[in-house]
Structures are given as C-alpha cells and as structure tokens.
Structure 1
C-alpha cells in the first residue's frame, strides 16, 4: 500500500470546499444573517460545481427556485461583477481542484487489475492518513468539553451510519452523565420522540455520510432550533450537516466502489473516546473501575 496517495484522495467536492471560493460559500452557509435564498444558492454551488459551469443564469435560478435577480444579487454580494464572472470563478476553481483528482482517477484505472480487497484497504489507509493530518487537536478538545458538560448526549445515525452511532454510544456511556441512542429500532418516529424535550443543556452528535439521510439533517436542525449544541461527524465541509454544526468533525470517506467508507469515521470515534477517557482524573478512574467490573466476564479471567 502507498500512503502517499492520501493527499490526492479527496473528492472534487471536498477540494472545492477548501478552496478560497469554497470557503467563501461556506461562510455564507454559516452566517445566521444570510437569507434562505443566499444559503440555497451557496449550497447548490458547493454541491454541483460541475453543473454550474454549464448553466445559464435562468437555468440556475430554476434549479434553486429563485429569481434571476436573486442570482445576480448573490453574485455581487460575494464579490463578483455579475453571474458570468461568478460562473467563471467556479470553472477556474474546479479546474484547479480537478487536477489532483484526475491524477488519482488515472492511477485508479491503472490499478483496476489489482485485487479489490487490496484497493479498498489502500483507500481506507489514505482516508485515515488524510483525516489525521486535517483534524486539529483543539477541535477534539472542544467537543470533549461539550460532551463532559452536557446534561444528555444524543447520538444519531441512520442507515449505514446507525452502527457508527451504536459504537459511539458504547464509548461515551461510561464518561458522560447520560447518553441516548436516538434512532434505535423505531426509526425516525422514535428518534423525534427522543429529541422532543431537548434543550440548550444537551448535545446532539449527528452522524451522516453519503448517501446522506434527510431525517438526520431535519432532526439536527430541530435540535439546533432548541439551542442544543450540534456535533456533526460527516465527510466534508460541503455535507448538508456542516451548516448545522457548532463543531464539525470531518472523516474522509472516499471509496472506489461503495458510496462511502466508514473506516475513518470509526477511527475518529475511537480517537474522540480516547480523548474523553483521559481528559480528567475522574474519567481515568472510571475506566479502571470499568475494566475491573468486566474482567470477570472475560474468557480466561475467572
């Protein structure tokens, strides 16, 4: 395996989000003062850069269900002379970010004859390496503080992210005052019931990867409206969860065959659990006590 491909494994969407134009659009999404139409346009540009380069102003307006005047005003508000200038900037940015991605795609095509197992593991290694280099320690520490102080920590993941939510709940339970797995067997209806009494004293950890689930975003928005802190574990700053998050943990999830890979997300969950475990003397003592309690149930320990 070649960890050197890690720097090239970002999708165009992720790379675009990290560009100057992408960061500008992300600021529009994060600004509570931005109108719904501005956020709709910013989100569309972040999610559909390639399509935007081929759209006229009327077509973009139709796609976002806004007027052409709104599109023109949006372009001026973010620093461009007109829509054509903004579309040109999208095309230029996309050309820059596609160069390493096309190089990776070419490399992938050359390795098609390799065993798919080896290829999948190579991507997992690249994803984890890239995520480790981009995940700052202060981000983890801020999340640990939120979890430690929360009255209740609600962990939410639907579909393929549900097992990640279950793993996080298991890791957090010994060290948080109260942890609730939101989704459970009953799906969206049960999840909504769990969140009905949520408040500013609580934290929601929302987990979603491609393909993203609408329910996860809707319930995270519900919790945010009730002043709960939102920790989003997702794949990209362009994820629909990112705009809702007080704390964003990005785990790169590129995979050559599957919609996304969850190996990096699990690694981030384990890293967060480790940071929480050693964050204070009380948690270290709890970990020691837990080890003693379960020792009698382990094979060969009786």
Structure 2
C-alpha cells in the first residue's frame, strides 16, 4: 500500500484534504487505481450518490479496486471515503447539470440559431454556477495577495485558454500592472520568462486534456521558484503547484464547444482585486 504523507494544512476541508493526499500519491498509484482516481476527480457527485458496484462499473474496474482505493487514501473503507463526498454535496447551495443535453433535429432541417444560442447560454450559466459553488474564498484571497505582491505577472494559457489570457492581459494593461504573456506566436516561451524569479508570480490556465506544452512550461516556472497560481479543473491536474494554490474551474460544453465563461469571470475578478489591493 502506498504511504500517504500527512496533510500540511489541517484547516482545509475534508474534501480538499482528500485531493491533496491524492495528488501526493497519484504518480505512484497502480494503473487501475489511477483509472479510478481520474473517474473520482471527474465525477465527485457519482461517488457521493453511488455504491461500490456502481462506481466500479462506471470506472471500468473491479469492486475490490474501489475499496482498495479508499484504503490507499487513508480511509477505513469505502463508506468513510463516501462520507467526505456526501458532506461536500450537502453544503452546495446550487444544483447544476452534469452536462448540457445535446439538441438535435430529427427531420433533417437545420437547427435554428436561437436553439444554438440557448445551448451556449445554458452552458455558460452552468459554468458560472459551478464556479460560484466551488470557489473557496480563502484560496481566492491568497491568490490575489500573491499576485498583488509580485513585481511582474507571467500569464500562461495555450490553445482554448489563450483568449482568456489575452483578455486578462488587456485588463492588466489598462490597470497599469506589469505583466508578460507566455506562449508567444514566435514559439519563444522559455525566453519570455527568462528573468522570472521568486519576486514575481505566474497565473496559469490549463484544463483537461492538459496541453503537454503547458505542463512543460509550468514545470519550468516551478523550477525557477516562481510562485504559481493555477486555474484548473481537477486536484489530479498535472499543473497543481507545490504551494497547493489553485482555483477550481469547470467549464460546461455545448455539443463539443466548451464555454470560457467561468474563466473570464474569474480572471476579471483577479485583475480588479489585484488593482484594488495595490491601491
């Protein structure tokens, strides 16, 4: 059985502490436990409401693997682990759908533009509801403090996250806050933070399926001891900084098109809060 280090922050919620332990041992887990860990991170409500058998079936593992996973994470059994997920579910103020149901026309006619609009609208609303229920105020304050104290802010977001980073850069420029975008069109990403260090800070956006280049640049920032705040969607994400300072964001999708609504609201909040903190 993998040995789990003790949590360094007893003030964290049980659910947050569970994910902290999972991050610490994730790389050493056997293949089947990794498979289950990914499912648990993606579908916490299923853990809260399901049974050993139903979780095993959905994750594609044996029921004994579910029990083994719980014990590996320091629980006496599955029921003790499930209690943590049920407590999280109990305190949530807003219920939101797991996904936006795909809308189809069966008569061969084109889908009306208003139907498409409603689909994107619902996805954006779902993303914002999830952000509101999952955002931890203490962690948000810690992120603002770190960013406000930095000499220069380095912004990293590739692929789908790039428009969010570009908008954040626009806000910071208007607020006269020194910053640098990582992920230039020239491909000279490392050169763009060659002078970054502990007195600076980086804000990173990366969501499943986590662009490998983003992970490489994240590791390079950590190696330079740059304080990193990550906006990501799972405690098992490969871009969780050693400090544990990350903000949970889940973006809903509509027929394969994923919203950036929650990300845009959160970076706007960070920019305004940092400017206010700096006076």
The TM tier, using the shorter chain, reads: 0.5 to 0.7
**CA positional deviation for 1:170:** 1.8
Which residue of 183, 190, 193 maps to 1:192?
A: 190
Q: Which structure: greater helix fraction?
A: 1
1:258 shift after superposition = 2.4
Matches within 5 A, 1:198-277: 198-242=196-240, 246-258=244-256, 260-277=258-275
- CA distance 1:134–1:204, shift in 2 (3 Å): same
- What SS class does the counterpart of residue 173 from structure 1 fall into? helix
> For residue 78 of structure 1, what is the aligned residue in structure 2?
73
Residue 174 (structure 1) shift: 4.9
Structure 2 residue 152 is the aligned partner of structure 1 residue 152: yes
Q: Which protein shows a greater Rg?
A: 1
1:47-67 C-alpha deviation (Å, 9 max, x unpaired): 14567843369x99xxxxxxx
The alpha-carbon distance between structure 1 residues 140 and 55, as it changes in their structure 2 partners (threshold 3 A), is closer
Q: RMSD in angstroms over aligned alpha carbons?
A: 4.2
Measure how far apart 1:220 and its partner are: 1.0
The SS at the match of 1:279 is helix
Partner SS state of residue 164, structure 1: helix
- Aligned to 1:108, the other structure's residue is in SS state coil
Answer whether contact 1:155 1:180 (CA < 8 A) is retained.
Answer: yes
Deviation at 1:104, TM superposition (A): 4.2
Q: Does 2:38 align with 1:47?
A: yes
| Separation in 1, partners of 2:100, 2:177 | 48
Q: 1:134 matched to which residue of 2?
A: 134
Aligned length in residues: 240
1:255-297 superposed Cα distances (whole Å, 9 cap, x missing partner) = 131253112111111121222232243xxxxxxxxxxxxxxxx
Rounded to whole Å, the distance in 2 between the matches of 1:206 and 1:105 is 25
Q: Distance in 1 between matches of 2:148 and 2:251?
A: 28
The secondary structure found in structure 2 opposite 1:249 is strand
What's 1:37 paired with? 28
User: Where does the alignment leave 5 or more consecutive residues of structure 2 unmatched?
Assistant: 1-12, 41-54, 89-95, 106-113
Q: 1:141 to 1:259 in 2, by over 3 A?
A: same
Q: Secondary structure at the match of 1:205?
A: strand
**TM-score normalized by the length of structure 2:** 0.67
Provide the rounded CA distance (Å) in 2 between the counterparts of 1:92 and 1:138: 23
- 1:128 is paired with a residue whose SS is helix
Tell me the residue number matched to 1:14. none
* 5+ long unaligned stretches in structure 1: 1-18, 61-71, 98-102, 282-302
